[in-house]
Amino acid sequence: MLDVPVHGQIFYPREVQELTLSTLTVFAVLAGEYFYPFYSPNIIQFLRLLTLAFVIYVPHELAHKFTAQYYGYPARFSIVWEFFILTLISAIPVIPIKFIAPGTVYIYTTSFGIDRRTNGIISAAGPTTNILLGLVGLIAGGPFAKTVMNFSGWIAFFNLLPIGPLDGRKVLQWNIAVWATLLFIALIMVLI
C-alpha cells in the first residue's frame, strides 16, 4: 500500500531518509575512487566529496519526483535494495566498474498508465538537471566546479543510455532529437 505524505508535506514518510542513505552510498563510491590508493582524506576533501555526491545525485532524483508531481502523478524516491547493494559493492576501490543507482523515483499512475510524452519529459528531467548543474560548474570555473561539471555530465550520460530501466530508453521513445541532444551535451561535459 502506498504510504501518503502528511497533509501539506512534500515527502512521503521515510523518503528523505532513503534519499539520504542513497546519497551516502554515492559518496562511498566517490570516496573509494578518490582516496584509494594514494590519498588520505582530510576534512576538506571529505566535505567536498560529500557535497559532490549531494549535488550530482539529489537534484537528479528530485527533478524526476517534482516533474511527475507537476503532471499530477504521485511520486516517491525509494531505495532499490538490489541496486543499493550493487552501488555499495562498486564502492570497493579495486572494483573497476562503478555503479551509481541506489534508488529510483517511483511514479504512481492510474490503470491507464502514463503517456509516452509525459514519461519522456519526466525521465529527461533528471539528466537535464545534471546538465544544467554541469553548465553552472563550467561557468563558475575552478577545480571543484570542473569536477561537478564532469561528474554531472557522467551521471547524465549514464542515465541517458537507452537500456533497461534507465532514463534514456524512455526519453528516446518519446523524442529522438531531445535524447540525442542531451546525450551529446552530457558526453561533452564528461570529456572537457
Copy the grid coordinates of residue 78.
525509494
Q: Which of 104, 167, 156 is nearest to 132 (CA)?
A: 156
Is 18 one of the annotated active-site residues of the chain?
Answer: no
How large is the C-alpha radius of gyration of the chain?
A: 17
How far apart CA 180 and CA 161 sit, in angstroms, is 10
Give the distance from CA 41 to its chain's centroid: 25
Helix locations, 71-161, DSSP H: 81-90, 116-140, 143-160
Measured from the Cβ of residue 174, the count of other Cβ atoms closer than 10 Å reads 19
Kindly name the residue from 15, 18, 33, 61 that is annotated as catalytic. 61
3-state secondary structure (DSSP) of residue 190? helix
Copy the grid coordinates of residue 157.
550520460
How far apart CA 145 and CA 135 sit, in angstroms, is 9
Q: Which residues are catalytic?
A: 61
